[in-house]
Every structure is written in structure tokens, then in C-alpha cells.
Amino acid sequence: MAVLLLSSLLLAVPVLLVVSGPVPGSSNKTVPLILWHGMGDSCCNPLSMGAIKKMIEQEIAGIYVLSLMIGKNVVEDTENGFFLDVNHQVSMVCSQLAQDPNLQGGYNAMGFSQGAQFLRAVAQRCPSPPMKKLISVGGQHQGVYGLPRCPGESSHVCDMIREALNRGAYSDLVQKHLVQAQYWHDPLNDDLYKKHSLFLADINQERSVNETYKKNLQQLETFVMVKFLQDSVVDPVDTEWFGFLKTGQAKVTETLQESDLYKQDRLGLAAMDKAGKLVFLATEGDHLQFSKEWFDANLLPYLR
């Protein structure tokens, strides 16, 4: 079984380009697809996003696939996954999608690792063109409280990030210039997180309820979340299903359904769950590791 290893680790600066598949003809009934890669990856890596894009195009004839590049080239795209303000990245993507004539009838979105929560922000903030289905592959929807494992060449960058987060994840300097700090969720410093998190606390309605966010997210037909059961990168792994550590300690986790976010339905997730719009999938393997057979059987049906 061929296994696709989508590394989610590594390196900064703006401009949004798009790598696209074949433009559909007027008779094409397929729904366009947007891909957003994870940290340390890029739009066009032939061993990860490039392979996924090609595989989907081969399986679904004529589908229009956009693999987002945040930057002027692959190097910038990779670096921006570490250093470009997430809110700015989301605004750039929203602008790009709004100007693409191939997307005006709606599109599906698939995000890998941190790209998943970034695409959720697109759904909540930018309802036009409409996102129909959101597939989160190893996304961290309640953030992380632990630095991702960074093998090989990425280790020096992760050492720097770890030091910055330890010194002050919620300081203005770190928040504005380090992507991972913007979804750092410290259960031992909940007040600091809610007050100073520039990205995650906003899209998760931690400070106040933005009814527009709630309404827009509920427009999704389906929200699929994939958890990797042997994940050694994401901590805690429960965040991939929108769960997290209980506030005030760092050992015991709670599910989405046990959380205040769900019980108070601040984001509309409880309503979506009751309507059958939430799908929770699990697979064996480490972060972003899955076989083509698993992808075809479990995720491809949502794209057809």
C-alpha cells in the first residue's frame, strides 16, 4: 500500500499565488476544490501537496483544484507558514477566492494540519463564494499546547519557536510574528489566551460571540475532521476532533461535546452536530500519514 507522508513541519513574506488544475468547462458538474497545506510544507511539494493534487485530478475527471501558495514562490510559501500573520493570510485567500470566476458557484475545501483551521476561518469570515464542504486533515481546531516534533533540517527553526513560546506566547511581538503562537492554547493561562490570542481566540468565539461567524460556519453542508491515532506532532491530539485539555490543568482532555464551546453553542457546532453535518474520522498512523486506499475510501466520496 502506497503511503503518502505529508510532513507538517517547516520556514516568511506575502503575496498569494495559486496552483490550479484544469479549468472546468461549462458542462462540468464537479465542485472545485481548494487545498491549504500545513506548516513546513508548500503548495507544490511533489511528495505531499503536489501528489495529493495530482491524485485527486486523476480520480475526479475535470475537477478544478487550487493548491494555495502564500507567497511569490515555494520558499516564501514555506516560510510564511511560520512567520506571516494568520489573519493576513486568511484575508489574502478570501480576496483570491472572491476574484476567481471558477469558484463563484461554491467550492469544497481541504486543509492539512494548520491549513485546516485557516480554511475554517475562511468559511467563517468570507461566505462569498460559498464553501460547501470543509475537510480537516489533522487540523488543530482548539489549538495546541506543545511544540510539533521537528525532525531533520527543521529542528533549528523549531528550537527558535520553542524558545519564543516559552518566553511569552501571548506577548505582542510573538503573537504578531509567529504563526504557531496565534493558535497556541495554554490551559494554565486561560485569561491570557482569551485576551491576547490574535487568531484562535477570535475564530473560536472566546471573547464574544460573533453571530456572523456562527451563521457562516453553519452554512457548510459537511464538516469532516480526521484524527491521526498515533500522532506524535499535534499535542493534544484531541484538538483534531475539536476537543482539548480541560481549563486549569494540562493532563485531562475533554471532547468537543463536553466543552463549553459546544454546550453554549457559541460557534453553531452543536446545531451542526444535531443536523448530521459533523463527521469524525480516525485513522491509524502518525501525523498526515495515510494510504491512497484510505484516502480514496474515506475522503474522496466527499469530493465527488
Active site annotation includes 231: yes
Question: What angle in degrees, to the nearest 10, is found between the helix axes of 114-125 and 86-99?
Answer: 60
Among the listed residues 93, 91, 77, the one whose alpha carbon sits nearest the alpha carbon of residue 11: 77
The one catalytic residue among 7, 48, 113, 259? 113
- Assess whether 37 carries a catalytic annotation: no
Distance CA 217, CA 267 (A): 8
User: Is residue 159 flagged as an active site residue?
Assistant: no
Per annotation, catalytic residue among 41, 85, 231, 238: 231
Residue (of 131, 19, 114, 17) closest to 65 by Cα position: 19
Residues serving a catalytic function are 113, 231, 287
